[in-house]
Chains A and B, each alone.
Chain A
Amino acid sequence: MFQNFMINAFETAAIVAVVAGVVGFFTVLRGAAFPAHAIPNGAFAGAAGASLLGISTLVGLGVFALGGAAMIASLGRRERVDVAAALTLALLLGLGDLFLSRSNEYASEVFSLLFGEILGVASYEILPTAVLGLLCIVVIVALYRPLLLSSIAPDVAEARGVNTRLMNLAFLGVLALTTTMAVPVVGAFLIFSLLIGPPAAALAITDRPLRAMALSSLIALVTVWMAIAVSYSTNLPVGFFVGCFSGIAYAAGRWWSMRKDVAQSPRRRRLS
């Protein structure tokens, strides 16, 4: 199980899991599950466009992810965020359809961008993943307090002079960076599962932000490492096990919080 390509897979998965755990914490807190699905899914159109123009896939993904984030933020000023995300996703995928129709052999690449091919990660892909992951963490650390406040209590944040609109844009920007980092290595579907399941489980267990973030990264890491190991021995796709284990983690988190709520009354309100 520990040949070179497996080591690459475990390393890349660790970076993606830790970043997804942290970014996912804010995603769940802000109720931004749809943008977290729409940006990675829509960004693959950028990859299709990049292959038409003959430029790097990573550049195409990055441009479309950031463009999608900006569009969700700007439409979100007058719409509910889910409507903004739905329109953005439809437009990006429509463009993807157009790009794909201009090129001939792309179907298999679409498949790998959606479902990922983590067991096929090459050594040279680890550095860009690490750099983009680090960038996400740096932005989150720099904006930590205002971002957290605007996620939990937008009214209070506004009253204290936090620019909630800017925070929203910054958060969606981080989501776009996470997408650019993760889609080439783990695929759009898998990064979405990691952005939702583990953080939701962590937030069911604890209210404290730092603890929840650490726990969410840990759950994501365990989920994805176990998924790779089980996938290796059963020869079934990694994405299937990541989906299952994230779902199980969330169910376990809910069970834990229900048990604790029964044990200690009066009941405390949870963040999610």
Chain B
Amino acid sequence: MDGSTQALTGFLSNQPVQTALAVSAITALVSAAVGVFAVIRGQSFAGHAFSGIGAAGGSGAVLVGVQPLVGFVTINVAAAGAMEMIGLRGARGRNLATGIVLGVALGLSALFLALDTAYTSRSGTTVSILFGSLFTVQPSLLPTVAVIGVIVAGLIAALYRPLLLTSVSRDLAAVRGVPIRLVGIGYVVALALAVSLSAVTIGAILSTALLVGPAATVLHVTRRTSTALALAAVLGVAACWIGILVSYASASWSTDARGWPVSFCIVAVVFIFYLSTSYGSRLGRRPRSPHPAHDVSPRPD
């Protein structure tokens, strides 16, 4: 057995690495599925906001002594409802509604963290929620992660066709009798669940990177939504696994025996994927338009 094979065997038989590979694969798949629609519908901000809002729920949950994941999910579903109630339409309006809810939630998390201080180090909690670390995920969390992953996948599968239609053309969907509002709410709930899942396990940075990065990357290459979903899933998992491998290996070449953080490595891979398709792809080079935001890129298949 040569040196590199030995190193790889060591990598794969390492318990935290196994958990990291499994958890990251599930969250990357779920994030990719939800993320393609987030990018098409212009709801990336909501997708990111749920990680911050969820953190408020997480610290609230610590306060009352329940699982952080329960706090993440509860507050995010409530926040999804609040954004819907504000009721501003269009991408700009939705972003504003998201911003208002996020602003209030950040205030709440300041409160909860201040009250939590008695139990935990507040700065430590903030840093771990923000950055996360795949290598410290508890293996016992895996079944919960899988269950929520399946629920989100089920929601997206159930909503797939009407969601696609409302994302591409609201008018056409309305004519066909699609319940646009209901589909929108269903999607936001799926988004809230998916982001709760990823933020609580792998941290807010990776949650946003895996939601938006792979989806934005593949939408440069294809406009068929089914292809985009499959490619984004593959890219997301690949980015996670390459990132984990690099982070694991970096401990041996890093000068001060501290490896590169896994979140940084995965984000870097996601970004390299993005740059590789964003320059040079045929679809990426669109005719110059003053309003890229109004340019509806996907096409139903």
Q: Is the CB of A77 within 8 A of B292?
A: yes
CA of A153 to CA of B71 in the docked complex: distance in angstroms? 42
Question: Of B19-27, B157-165, B205-213, which binds chain A?
Answer: B205-213
- Binding site secondary structure of chain B: helix
Chain A residues with Cβ below 8 Å from B216 are 79, 83, 87
CA of A241 to CA of B110 in the docked complex: distance in angstroms? 9
Verify if B47 is at the interface (C-beta below 8 Å from A). yes
For chain B, residues 160 to 209, give those with C-beta under 8 angstroms from any C-beta of chain A. Answer: 204-206, 208-209
Q: Is the CB of A93 within 8 A of B205?
A: yes
For chain A, residues 221 to 272, give those with C-beta under 8 angstroms from any C-beta of chain B. Answer: 236-244, 246-247, 250, 254, 272
CA of A44 to CA of B25 in the docked complex: distance in angstroms? 29
Question: Of A9-17, A94-102, A210-218, which binds chain B?
Answer: A94-102
Q: Is the CB of A94 within 8 A of B212?
A: no
Q: Is the CB of A94 within 8 A of B123?
A: no
Assuming the contacts A87-B212, A110-B123, A240-B110, asked whether A81 and B293 have C-beta atoms less than 8 A apart, the reply is: yes
Q: Is the CB of B123 within 8 A of A243?
A: no
Q: Is the CB of A196 within 8 A of B99?
A: yes
Verify if A115 is at the interface (C-beta below 8 Å from B). yes
Verify if B12 is at the interface (C-beta below 8 Å from A). no
Q: Mark B99-114, 1 if CB is under 8 A from A, else 0.
A: 1101111111111011
Verify if A5 is at the interface (C-beta below 8 Å from B). no
Assuming the contacts A78-B278, A236-B111, asked whether A197 and B45 have C-beta atoms less than 8 A apart, the reply is: no
Chain B residues with Cβ below 8 Å from A242 are 107
Assuming the contacts A193-B107, A200-B100, asked whether A31 and B208 have C-beta atoms less than 8 A apart, the reply is: no
Verify if B263 is at the interface (C-beta below 8 Å from A). yes
Verify if A86 is at the interface (C-beta below 8 Å from B). yes
CA of A242 to CA of B107 in the docked complex: distance in angstroms? 7
Q: Is the CB of B104 within 8 A of A246?
A: yes
Chain A residues with Cβ below 8 Å from B208 are 86, 89-90
Closest chain A residue, CB of each to CB of B121: A107
Of B106, B121, B216, which is in contact with the most chain A CB atoms at under 10 Å from its CB?
B106
Q: Mark B229-245, 1 if CB is under 8 A from A, else 0.
A: 00000000000000000
Assuming the contacts A31-B95, A97-B264, A237-B110, asked whether A87 and B213 have C-beta atoms less than 8 A apart, the reply is: yes
Verify if A144 is at the interface (C-beta below 8 Å from B). no
CA of A97 to CA of B204 in the docked complex: distance in angstroms? 12
Total A residues in contact with B, Cβ cutoff 8 Å: 63
CA of A193 to CA of B266 in the docked complex: distance in angstroms? 30
Chain A residues with Cβ below 8 Å from B91 are 31, 80, 82
Q: Is the CB of B292 within 8 A of A78?
A: yes
Q: Is the CB of A76 within 8 A of B103?
A: no
Question: Of B2-10, B60-68, B136-144, B267-275, which binds chain A?
Answer: B267-275
CA of A242 to CA of B103 in the docked complex: distance in angstroms? 9
For chain A, residues 21 to 76, give those with C-beta under 8 angstroms from any C-beta of chain B. Answer: 28, 30-34, 36-37, 75-76
Report the 7 A-B pairs with minimum CB-CB distance, sorted nearest first: A243-B107, A31-B92, A94-B267, A33-B99, A239-B110, A193-B103, A90-B209
Q: List 18 A-B contacts (CB under 8 A).
A: A31-B92, A34-B98, A37-B48, A77-B292, A78-B292, A80-B91, A82-B45, A83-B212, A90-B212, A90-B271, A97-B263, A101-B264, A115-B126, A154-B290, A189-B110, A200-B100, A239-B106, A240-B107
Given A114-B126, A236-B114, A247-B104, 18 extra CB contacts under 8 A: A34-B45, A36-B99, A37-B99, A79-B216, A82-B95, A93-B130, A94-B209, A110-B123, A110-B127, A155-B291, A158-B290, A200-B100, A238-B110, A239-B111, A240-B114, A243-B104, A244-B104, A272-B96
